[in-house]
Amino acid sequence: MVVLSVGDYPDTLLAQYIVASGSLEADLHSLTVNVARLADKAVREYRLASEYLSAFVETPGVESIEGHTFLLRAVDHVENSIDAIGRAEGFFSTSTFEAVTTLEQREVLKRVHEGVHAMRNSIQHADERIVKEKRVPEGEPLFPALTNDGIYFAGGECPIRCVGMTKSKERHVYEDQH
């Protein structure tokens, strides 16, 4: 069995909550644990994406199976990170969350999450768009494209800017292969 201690995850929200003194009523405790868990998952997935993207940059690129694999694994982890954030957003509309936040705070969170929300929907509904349009729009990636500037996906309203995704700024990760 894997043994974890708080020392293994000192920078997680969940660890900070668990070691904090005091307790919350059941509904608020459940909300806090779930949002913290999903936020921590998003961070872990983002870090894994960064590691695979850095490994990709050290390869000959998508021309090699190794490079292609690293790139696709980075994309997988970015999708997981975006999905975790989207799932955490679901808790923003619960009665428990509304009871402990103001309308103004919820509106700020909604604006902050617009880009991630649009990206998540674009990723989750890509198959429907492809079936409807009977093709991938020319020049559009079939999966999230990672560049030095951010993450882009076909049909996404705005790209998501990434900070520190890779240690190297030498190469764009996805370039149109047409």
**Where residue 60 falls among pLDDT bands split at 50, 70, 90?**
confident
**Where residue 145 falls among pLDDT bands split at 50, 70, 90?**
low
**Where residue 150 falls among pLDDT bands split at 50, 70, 90?**
low
**Where residue 156 falls among pLDDT bands split at 50, 70, 90?**
very low
Specify the DSSP class assigned to residue 18.
H
The SS3 call for residue 87 is helix
For residue 13, the Cα-to-chain-centroid distance in whole angstroms is 16
pTM above 0.75, yes or no: no
Instruction: Determine the residue type at 12.
Output: T
Helix/strand number for the chain, H first, E second: 7, 3
Q: Compute the mean pLDDT over every residue in the chain, rounded to the nearest whole number.
A: 75
CB neighbour burial string for 68-96, b if at least 16 within 10 angstroms, e if fewer: eebbebbbbbbbbbbbbbbbbbeebeeeb
Pick the residue with more confidence: 122 or 100? Answer: 100
Q: CB of 57 within 8 A of CB of 170?
A: yes
Tell me the chain's radius of gyration from C-alpha atoms.
Answer: 19
Q: Which pLDDT value is given to residue 42?
A: 92
The tens digit of pLDDT for each residue in 69-118 reads 898 898 899 889 999 998 998 898 899 999 989 999 999 988 888 878 87
Domain boundaries, the chain: 25-161
Whole-angstrom Cα distance, residue 27 to residue 49? 33
